């Protein structure tokens, strides 16, 4: 079993087709066609990943995303027909880890889903330190003064990627490849939005970051500049 995927989409044909493709790749699937019931179904099925259509009857996909994120760090991949900046950024800010734009190719979707589930591979025990943070890679936890900071798996991956090489400045493209698994240049807004989300959790003052530092014109690095 490679993982359970919850497909939240009101378009039954698309949902069914997604099911065919995902099952063909060895995933388990469950479905929900109504935004209002999505949270309930999510609690019932406890999926490893959620595929969420932004346009939903009952409740907006972005709202659903926010609700799921409020109680779980489960990877969320948005399906969107909109490429307009505002919508994409809004989706990402509501907590989605990644998004695919309709019409997508099945391979593209599967690659995105795999990239989000890839992290379930057992990592070697490893302890990292950035600033006053302690990261237990195997235990998936980040602590400050013994206090656990709750991060989503994606945010955790992002922090670990940066913390492993604190001497290196990561371009957004490199982070996209390492954390999101994109092979080709993709939307660098993904990185910007998630760095903001990460900072809001790990920085003492997100306005003046000390853990994830922006290197102007290049990208990001961990620790002091």
Partner 1 sequence: MAAPSRSLHELAGPLARRAVPSRLRHPLQLARTSVLGRWRRSIQLRVVSATVVLGVIVVLVVGQLLLQRITAGVVASRQEQVIAQSHEDFINTRNGIVTPSGEANRDIYTRVHDIINSLAAPADRPTRYVILERALGNTSVGDVPDYSSAGIDRMAIPDELRQAVVHNRGERQEAQVFTTELDGRSVPVIAVGGLLDLGSAAGGRYELYLVYSLQREVQVVDVVRRTFIFGGIALVLLVGAVAWVVTRQVVAPVAQAARTAEQLASGRLDRRMRVRGDDELARLGRAFNEMAASLERQIHRLEELSRVQRRFVSDVSHELRTPLTTLRMAGEVMYEARHTFEPALGRSAELLQAQLDRFEALLADLLEVSRFDAGAAVLETEAVDLCELVEQVMEDLRPLAERRGTPVELIVGPGSTVADVDPRRVERIVRNLVGNAIEHSESEPVQVRIAGDEGAVAVAVRDHGVGLRQADLSMVFNRFWRADPARARTTGGTGLGLAIALEDAHLHGGWLQVWGEPRQGANFRLTLPRRVGAPLTVSPLPLVPWDAGRGKGAVAVVTTSDGTAVVTSLAEFTGDHAGDGSAAGRRRSTGAGTVEARP
Residue 80 vs 152, nearer CB to partner 1? 80
Q: Note every long-range contact of 100-103, with CB atoms under 8 Å and residues 24 or more positions apart, other chains counting.
A: none
Judge whether 223 and 211 are in contact, CB under 8 Å: yes
Counts of helices then strands in the chain (DSSP H, E): 8, 12
Q: From the list 21, 89, 90, 186, which residue makes contact with partner 1 (rule: CB under 8 A)?
A: 21
Under rule CB under 8 A, residue 103 binds partner 1: yes
Under rule CB under 8 A, residue 114 binds partner 1: no
Residue 131 three-state SS: coil
Query: Two tokens at 53?
Result: 């259509």
Window 65-94: residues binding partner 1 (CB under 8 A): 79, 81-83, 85
Window 163-192: residues binding partner 1 (CB under 8 A): 185
- Peptide bond connecting 103 to the previous residue in cis, omega within 30 degrees of 0: yes
Residue 21 vs 128, nearer CB to partner 1? 21
Under rule CB under 8 A, residue 17 binds partner 1: yes
- Window of 9-17, 131-139, 146-154, 196-204 that interacts with partner 1 by CB under 8 A: 9-17
Q: From the list 66, 102, 144, 164, which residue makes contact with partner 1 (rule: CB under 8 A)?
A: 102
Task: Please give the C-alpha separations between residue 210 and each of 34, 158, 207, in angstroms, as whole numbers.
Answer: 42, 15, 10
- Window of 25-33, 88-96, 105-113, 128-136 that interacts with partner 1 by CB under 8 A: 105-113
Task: Please give the C-alpha separations between residue 202 and each of 69, 71, 81, 221, in angstroms, as whole numbers.
Answer: 17, 18, 32, 14
User: Which positions touch partner 1 (CB under 8 A)?
Assistant: 11, 13-14, 17-18, 20-21, 24, 55, 79, 81-83, 85, 102-107, 185, 217
């Amino acid at each position: 079993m490679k993982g359970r995927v919850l497909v939240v989409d009101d378009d039954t044909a698309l949902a069914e087709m997604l099911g065919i493709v995902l099952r063909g790749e060895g995933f388990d699937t469950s479905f929900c066609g109504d935004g209002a019931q999505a949270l309930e179904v999510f609690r019932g099925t406890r999926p490893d990943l959620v595929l969420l259509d932004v346009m939903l009857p009952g409740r907006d996909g972005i709202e659903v995303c926010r609700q799921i994120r409020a109680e779980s760090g489960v990877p969320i991949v948005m399906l969107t027909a909109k490429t307009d900046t505002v919508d994409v950024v809004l989706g990402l800010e509501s907590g989605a880890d990644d998004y695919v734009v309709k019409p997508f190719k099945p391979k593209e979707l599967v690659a995105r889903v795999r990239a989000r589930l890839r992290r379930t591979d057992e990592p070697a025990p490893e302890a990292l330190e950035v600033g006053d943070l302690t990261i237990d890679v195997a235990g998936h936890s980040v602590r400050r003064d013994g206090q656990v900071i709750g991060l989503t798996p994606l945010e955790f991956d992002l922090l670990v990627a940066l913390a492993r090489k604190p001497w290196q400045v990561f371009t957004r493209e490199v982070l996209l490849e390492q954390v999101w698994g994109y092979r080709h240049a993709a939307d660098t807004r993904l990185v910007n939005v998630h760095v903001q989300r990460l900072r809001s959790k790990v920085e003492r003052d997100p306005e003046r970051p000390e853990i994830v530092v922006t290197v102007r014109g290049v990208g990001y690095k961990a620790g002091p500049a």
